[in-house]
Amino acid sequence: MPNLDGASDYELLRRSRSGEEPFAVFYRRHERLVGVGWLVRQTGRPDLAADLTAEVFAAAYIAAPRFRPGPEPAAAWLLGIARNKLLRSLRNERTEASARRRLAMSTVPIDDDALAAITSIDSSGLLAFLDDLPEGQRDAVRARVVEDLGYEELARHLNVTEQVARKRVSRGLRQLRQHFSQGGAPS
């Protein structure tokens, strides 16, 4: 199989049903952002973040054939899945496992060494690329993608018109997409 490291996220997701390697490359590309970065920061619990990360990527694997490139990078799509899985888990007071069950994935036990390794990773830089955006764009992208606010609510939140909110999100996502397409990694 050709080297897939330079393939776009869309190409990796499109080819993921033809074999494990394309999705494995996609997973390696985004696992730290989703698992160690966002989910550990949201939950404060590496063990819960690890379970949710497995569920997020299982759900992404199932949904991969339906992924279509658009204004938001695949990382935003994954963070949306992560947000939904986290909210559903909090609402049900247990970690969701429906996608993992659908794929017949067994639970991988996390030992103390793995938890220590997850905890020791400095995740402060994982979302640094978002912090590099101008403040208005950063706030708009965070509220739209991470907090999943609709544009009307986002405009009220930012105290701007809906058109300005849409433009800020669009510009911020365009910069993020350029960053990712150039092989950028969080600093």
Q: Extract the tokens encoding 42.
A: 């949201």
Residue 6 in this model has a pLDDT that exceeds 60: yes
Whose structure tokens read 């017949």? 104
Residue 103 in this model has a pLDDT that exceeds 60: no
Per-residue pLDDT, 123:
42
pLDDT in tens, 24-59: 999 988 888 888 778 888 887 777 788 888 889 999
Residue with the bigger pLDDT between 18 and 176: it is 18
| 154 in Cβ contact with 148 (< 8 Å) | no
Under DSSP, is residue 71 helix (H, G, I), strand (E, B) or coil?
coil
Could you tell me the pTM of the whole model?
0.55
